[in-house]
Structure formats: structure tokens, C-alpha cells
Structure 1
Amino acid sequence: MKLCIVTHKLLKGDGQARVNYEIVSDMLQRGHEVTVCASSVAPELLARSNLIWRKVPVKGWPTQLLKNQVFAVLSTFQLLRLRQHYDVLMVNGFITWLKSDINAVHFVHSSWIKSPAHPFKLKKNLFGWYQLSFTLLNSLLERVAFARTSQLVPVSHKVKNEIQAVTARGNPNVIMNGVDVTEFHPDQNVSRERWELPENVPLALFAGDIKSSRKNLDSVLKAMQDVKELHLAVAGETQGSPYVKLAEQLGLSERVHFLGFRKDLSELMKCVDFFVFPSRYEACTLVVIEALASGLPVITTYESGVSELIEMEAGFILHHPEDVAGLATAMKRLATNAELRSVQGKKAREVAERHSWSTVAAAYMQLFEKVSAEKKRGSYGAI
């Protein structure tokens, strides 16, 4: 099979890039020829003889908004005359002007703009106006992309519902994100010493972009005031983040430990007691599934698509991200009950094992074969 995937990046580092990395890795391992239209690709994949990289340069453009539009135009010209040579062309949201066979949807801007946590609704400054412009434009363009594909693949049922709110397209095929269950796994022998974290105290972990209000670290810090025995490790780039100062103002400096951006998250997760991530909007964030695989009970919200994976025995799901009292109650229960943590942690691992990357890749492979067979029986047309 000849497969083409259009994605900004093909790396293990984050979100959409990681999902596509795992899909491509599996397809290459199966012996398929994969063409990737991207700005950057992991070196280990470039070493594979059956991978073709069609580079889309966007470096030097001043904003992400411009980079995305330049990428869309350049990728269209790169693949316009080649798309008929591929058995399957998969894109990710609005990323190109080409008509696609499959569109994997990792984020719905039309829903994000309605959130009270959208930056423009919080502060109508220059950054807020830029974010409004970014979201409005992408809301329009994603509808074009949704209409110009044969198969929509939302990464959660939450995203599926959001798609169906803006398009009349059939019944999207949900394929949730996965996790490397060998990289992320429980291990009680990892010491906290390397991160200079206190031993013999209950320790929660928050990980994500702590410059963004969307991840909701502010509610976690407010809830910490009522959970006196709990310490919190925070993994995320602190430069430009308002939450270091907020922790100081709330008198939490001794119990909240800012660790900066971490590449050793799989090891860090082995030495904490539970994971807290009450996001205000999420599609299907990988870090929560990674926490489940690490055997950690998880506290999140129904606004996070990944909450669909968290059976009640594997953690707590808040009905609303602004429920600081409910968040504090859940945190206190886990901080003070080692037996509850153990029971929920085992269940969390069981849930994650059903969502390994090999399982996710197999679901995509099945979809690729289905779409390829349908194309052989007819044509979806050109751009």
C-alpha cells in the first residue's frame, strides 16, 4: 500500500505529531511505502528506506497563523499532481487545501471558541485578539476540510459530537489516541531524589503547557490550599507562566515544585502518587493516557475527551473544570488514602493496556485498507 500523511511534524514529542509518528512507524514496519508531507521528521524514521519525506519549509514566518497558511499552500502544490498515486491520503484537520481520503481530527476550533476559557474572553489585549483571529480563521477552514474528506476520524467521542455540531457528515469513526505501555509503566523503585522532590509525603503531578489557562493549573493551585498534606510537582516551561507567582501569592511555595519542561516524564510519573489534570478544553490529550499507563489514578474533567477512558475505578471526573471544591475533595481523598490509590492505579493500568499504540495503529490500518478498497471501486475526485 502507498500511504501519504500530511502533518506539520512527525516526532515523538507531542500530541498530533506523536500520533502520526506511531501510525507511520507501524506502517513502515508492515512494509508499506509511506510519504510524509511535513516540516520536520524524526531522524530514526528518515533512516527507513520505505519512507519518503516531502519537506514543507515554514521556518522564518513570524506567527503560527502564517506558518499554518503557508504550509497549507505549499503542501497543496507539492502533492497536487501526486495524490492520485497514493492508495490513501490522510490529513489532520485543516492542514492543506487538498481533498483527502481520511481526516484525523485532533482539535475542533469551532468548539474551543465557545469556551469561557478562550484567551480572548479572558483578556482582550493584543494576544487575545490574535488568538481570536487564529481560532475564527481555523473554525472556517476546518469546516472546509471536514467537507473535503471521505472519512472523518475524531480522536474521542467528545470530538465526534463537536464535529457533528458543525457538519452534517455521517457518523465519524472514532479512533482514540494511545500510549507506549513499555515506556510508561508502574515502578515503585524510582526515587524522587533526582528531581529534589520530598520523600514520604503524598505527591501529585500536573504536566502540560503552564502558560495557557486552558490546562487549568490555577484551579489546582487554589484547591491545594485546602489539601494541606499534599505536595504538587508541576512539569512545564515556567518562562512566561503566571502560575509560579500565583503559587507564591497563595502561600504554596513550600509545597508546589516547578520542575520546568521535562523530557523524562515517564520516569517522573513512576515516583508520584496520582495525576491531576482538570483541563478546560481537551480533545484526547496523551499525557493523561500516559499517566494511566504509569498506574496513576487521574483527576480530570468531562471537558477533556480522554475522560471517556477513565472508568470510575481509575480516578475522578469533575463535571465542571471550575469546581475547585470538588477538585480539592478528590485530591484530598487520594492524598490521604493509599489503599484507594492502589486500587485505582491498578485499574488505570488495565485501561491503558487496552489503548497501546499497536492497538491504535491496527485500527488505522483497518481503516486504510477499507478506504483503499473503496477507492478502487470508484473515485473521490480531485481537489
Structure 2
Amino acid sequence: REARGRRIAVRATAGADGKAGRAAARRGAAPSRSVPVPFLRQHTGLDSGRCGGPGADGCRPRPQTALAFQAALDREGPGAVPLQYDVAEGHRCPARPVAACVCRGAGDPDDVSPGHRPQGGRHCPARCPSETRSTRSQCLDSPMKVLLVILHADPSRGGAEAYTIQLLNKLREMGHEARIAASTFHPTIPAEWRVPLKHEGLTRTSRYACFLDALDEHLDATSYDRIHAMLPVRRCDLYHPHAGVAAILPAGVSRFFNPRPRRFAAIERALLEGDRSPVVLSLSSYIDAQLKKAYPATPLRIERLMNAADLGRFDPERVSAVELPIAAPRALMIAQDFARKGLSPTLRAMQAVEAVSLVVVGGDDPAPYRKQSEPFASRVHFAGLTSEAPRYYRAADFFVLPTRHDPCSLVVLEALAMGLPVITTRQNGAADVMTHGVHGFILDHADDPPALAEALRSLADDST
């Protein structure tokens, strides 16, 4: 176990200081996990002091947690009310049925018209009359009614879904009446937490339109203190774009042949450029840059809120390695979209690095990649879906994810928490917590097999 710990310490300092790290290991340096300091600071519960918000006398200390929502940067410094559920003055009123709408009239900012019927027959997202506005901030410890919105509430589908379910569980644990609106649900989510939304149609675009209409109908009939959306919707209080900025497509995606991105972009633009735009929770500097590029003239309210790993679950000292049928040194990739996450360039790079084996975990179709890896099939293992990701990290020597586009890869953060050096790209927001040559390697582009091969070779050398 001590030898394994020393190897972790060496691998996590691969690159510029690799020789010094190996020398320290030979001298018997204590086992350690070299996780980036910003990562530790942001993801282990920044402040556990009192809430400190207006009217917050008697607030309980915020519990330390690895969930990003608890580790959000405070608005006014340590102890302030966490941004994402802060009730700001001027916040729009809860959704009401059209017949009871009390939105301001379009012509007169002081006109409150109970009989006003918004365009399209839906609730108008205009500001509330002054007498209905909140006049103080609300402490996160006060019970609130929160709706999370995502297309599929199934953590097995990817990082965004896993994060949303974690957030739902934590909100419920803290005493909030949190529910999740989605078209499909994992069977472990209790029925009383669910808000099922229709997702019907012949095409993905028509199914998305059906989903939006069903969400609007629900919000017209039910009021919430906070609506937290993970994808473009027509109204919400917090917009958390886990798939990236809809107005900017990742490389290789065409709007001409796929109208769904156009629909996403149009809904997002109407949401962010409207009179009552939500707070945008950006997962990384990569998404910050996308937002500024897509909306240069729009005064967006952007706050950084990265994903985070559960440091209790992803701890190499608490799990045992899974048995694998391939030899070390082993690279590990965990992904649900093999094309976007860079499996093909990884396999091309492996042709030039004979010392490395690769373990691929995920539910995507492996058939085309099995064919690509036929010349070195004995060094590639497709493991399929798993619920034991920590055991795969524990069995690996380093992690590889040369993604074309990733707002903030959760698996990269998990790999770092498990003490693994990482190879990824500048198109991955999780690179914000990495230093090139210290915590692994950050490639300029996903489709660069020679650079990827060099990074694989370097980490393989440090693993032996």
C-alpha cells in the first residue's frame, strides 16, 4: 500500500518535476495525493461559518460538503448567503395561472393589470408589482420550494444528470421541498419528488418543444421559490448550462442537418436577453468565454460554480481496485459519448505507445472503436457501464479524456481526487483546477494524436 501511495505521489507530479518526484519516492516520501490546491479549497466546503444574511439570526452553520452547490463563492465574502438561492429584491413573482396574472402592463411600468393576458397565453415573466417583491435576503437554511429542471433525471446518463441528482438529494437532506422536472427518471428517485413532463414527437426537436410546453403548463399551475434549470427553458431563476452555451456549437456539430441546436439557441437567447434574465451559473472559465462571445452586448449576471467530486466516495484509501484483464500501466477513460470525449484520437495515439493499455468505461456503442483497436486489441478493454467507478480509478495509473467540448468534466475531478494525473484539453473547463506538467497534461486540441502520444508516453514512464 505504501508503494502504491508513493507511485501516486510521483504520478501526480509528472512532467516538469517528474525526476524530482521519483527521487523523493525512492527516499521513502510519505504517501500522498497531489490534488490541486484550488480543487481542495473549492470542493471540501469553503466556509462552515454562519449564514450572515439579513435576518439570519439563529442560522445553523453550513455543513461541509463536497457538493459544488454548498461550495459556491460567496457574494460578499466568507459567511454570506450562497448566491444561487439568495432571494434578491425585485425577483419576479411565482408563476400563476394566466387568469390571475398580475404582471405589469407593457405600456406603463406602474400598471398592474389583473386581467392582463400575456402573449401566447402563458404566464408573463415580467417583474412583480412592488408590493409583492421580496425585501430581504432569505437564508439557505430556511425551507424553500425548489424545482430542478433537466431532460433526463438519470445519473447513469452522464455528469450533468449525476450532479443534478446529487443536488436534489442534498436539498432534500437540508429540509427544502425540492422536486425535479424531467421526461425520464431513475427508479431510485421517489415518486413524490418527481414532476413528469411530456417528451413526445417524431423528432428530437419536436420532443424538446413538447417538453418546454409541458414545463410551462406546470409552472402556470404551481409556484416555486426557485427554478433551477440545467438546459435552456423559457423561464427560470438560475440557468446552469451543463451542456455548454447553446448559442455556440462545439466543433463538428452542424445546425443545418440538426435543427435541435437552433431551437436550443433560440430558447437560450430569449431567456438571457429578456427583461428578467436569470443568474447564469458558469461551470468554468471556458464557459465564461463562451458566454461573452455569444452575448457580447448583453449584461449577463454570471457567477462561477464548478462541478465537484464527492471526496468521501472518491478516496483511494477507501476502495479496492477492480480486477482488469490487461497489463499496467493502464490509462482509464470514463465517458458516455465516445466521439466527443476523444476515444478515436486516443486509440490512434496508442498505436505509437506500445507500453500503455487502455480501459474504457461507458455505455456508448464500442463497435467502431473495437474495429479501430484491432491491431492492439490485447491492450484495450471495453468495460461497459459500471456503478463502481471508484474501483476503476483505483486500478488505473492515469486518466485520459481528450474531449472536444466539456464545460467541466466531472470524471476529471473524480480522477484528480483519486490521485490520478490527467490528460485532457483546453476545451474542458475542468482544466481550470489543473497545472500543466504538475497534475498531468492539458493539450491544445483534442485531435492531436502525436501530442497525446507524447503525454501517454511520459505518464507511462512515470508509472513504471
Please indicate the TM-score interval, normalised by the length of the shorter structure. 0.7 to 0.9
Aligned positions of 1:210-359 closer than 5 A? 210=337, 212-237=338-363, 239=365, 241-248=367-374, 251-312=375-436, 313-338=438-463
Q: Specify whether residues 68 and 240 from structure 1 end up closer, same or farther in structure 2 by C-alpha distance, changes over 3 A only.
A: farther
- Return the alpha-carbon distance in structure 2 between the equivalents of residues 264 and 35 of structure 1: 27
TM-score computed with the length of structure 1 as normaliser: 0.75
- Residue 228 of structure 2 is aligned to residue 90 of structure 1: yes
- Residue 317 of structure 2 is aligned to residue 190 of structure 1: no
SS in 1 for 2:311: coil
Mapped contact 2:316–2:419 kept (Cα < 8 A): yes
Q: Give the counterpart letter for 2:273 in structure 1.
A: A
Length, aligned pairs only: 314
TM-score computed with the length of structure 2 as normaliser: 0.63
SS in 2 for 1:108: coil
- Return the alpha-carbon distance in structure 2 between the equivalents of residues 27 and 169 of structure 1: 30
Map Cα deviations across residues 169-204 of structure 1 (whole Å, 9 max, x no partner).
Answer: 3341010111122222214973553x4233xx2110
- Residue 195 of structure 2 is aligned to residue 54 of structure 1: yes
Over aligned residues, Cα RMSD in angstroms? Answer: 2.4
Structure (1 or 2) with the larger CA radius of gyration: 2
Q: Give the counterpart letter for 1:26 in structure 2.
A: K
Mapped contact 2:326–2:379 kept (Cα < 8 A): no
- Residue 282 of structure 2 is aligned to residue 161 of structure 1: no
- Residue 302 of structure 2 is aligned to residue 175 of structure 1: no
Q: Specify whether residues 190 and 314 from structure 1 end up closer, same or farther in structure 2 by C-alpha distance, changes over 3 A only.
A: same
Shift of 1:164: 1.8
Mapped contact 2:149–2:231 kept (Cα < 8 A): no
- Return the alpha-carbon distance in structure 1 between the equivalents of residues 321 and 313 of structure 2: 17
Decide which moves more: 179-188 or 225-234.
179-188
Map Cα deviations across residues 290-347 of structure 1 (whole Å, 9 max, x no partner).
Answer: 11122111000001111112123211101122222211111111101138xxxxxxxx
State the partner residue of 1:109.
246
Shift of 1:243: 1.3
Q: Specify whether residues 322 and 40 from structure 1 end up closer, same or farther in structure 2 by C-alpha distance, changes over 3 A only.
A: closer
SS in 2 for 1:254: helix
SS in 2 for 1:299: strand
Shift of 1:129: 5.8
- Residue 332 of structure 2 is aligned to residue 208 of structure 1: no
Q: Give the counterpart letter for 1:9 in structure 2.
A: H
State the partner residue of 2:175.
31
- Return the alpha-carbon distance in structure 2 between the equivalents of residues 333 and 326 of structure 1: 11
Q: Specify whether residues 68 and 276 from structure 1 end up closer, same or farther in structure 2 by C-alpha distance, changes over 3 A only.
A: same
- Return the alpha-carbon distance in structure 2 between the equivalents of residues 270 and 63 of structure 1: 41
Shift of 1:103: 0.9
Q: Give the counterpart letter for 2:306 in structure 1.
A: M
- Return the alpha-carbon distance in structure 2 between the equivalents of residues 65 and 101 of structure 1: 24
Mapped contact 1:188–1:271 kept (Cα < 8 A): no
Map Cα deviations across residues 345-382 of structure 1 (whole Å, 9 max, x no partner).
Answer: xxxxxxxxxxxxxxxxxxxxxxxxxxxxxxxxxxxxxx
- Return the alpha-carbon distance in structure 2 between the equivalents of residues 252 and 169 of structure 1: 52
Map Cα deviations across residues 128-168 of structure 1 (whole Å, 9 max, x no partner).
Answer: 964x3222222222212323433111211211211121221
SS in 2 for 1:258: strand
Mapped contact 1:188–1:270 kept (Cα < 8 A): no
Q: Give the counterpart letter for 1:197 in structure 2.
A: I
Unaligned 5+ segments in structure 1 are 121-127, 340-383
Mapped contact 2:283–2:307 kept (Cα < 8 A): yes
Q: Specify whether residues 172 and 191 from structure 1 end up closer, same or farther in structure 2 by C-alpha distance, changes over 3 A only.
A: closer
Shift of 1:34: 1.6
SS in 2 for 1:34: strand
Q: Specify whether residues 35 and 256 from structure 1 end up closer, same or farther in structure 2 by C-alpha distance, changes over 3 A only.
A: closer
SS in 2 for 1:197: coil
Which residue among 217, 227, 230 is the counterpart of 1:77? 217
- Return the alpha-carbon distance in structure 2 between the equivalents of residues 93 and 192 of structure 1: 35
- Return the alpha-carbon distance in structure 2 between the equivalents of residues 171 and 289 of structure 1: 26
- Return the alpha-carbon distance in structure 1 between the equivalents of residues 286 and 305 of structure 2: 12
Mapped contact 1:156–1:174 kept (Cα < 8 A): yes
Give the fraction of aligned pairs with identical amino acids, expressed as a percent: 27
Which residue among 151, 159, 163 is the counterpart of 1:15? 159
Mapped contact 1:181–1:293 kept (Cα < 8 A): yes
Q: Specify whether residues 291 and 165 from structure 1 end up closer, same or farther in structure 2 by C-alpha distance, changes over 3 A only.
A: same
Map Cα deviations across residues 220-266 of structure 1 (whole Å, 9 max, x no partner).
Answer: 11111221111111113353642111112xx2212112222333222
Shift of 1:215: 1.4
Higher helix share: 1
SS in 1 for 2:331: strand
- Return the alpha-carbon distance in structure 2 between the equivalents of residues 24 and 279 of structure 1: 28
State the partner residue of 1:152.
280
Unaligned 5+ segments in structure 2 are 1-143
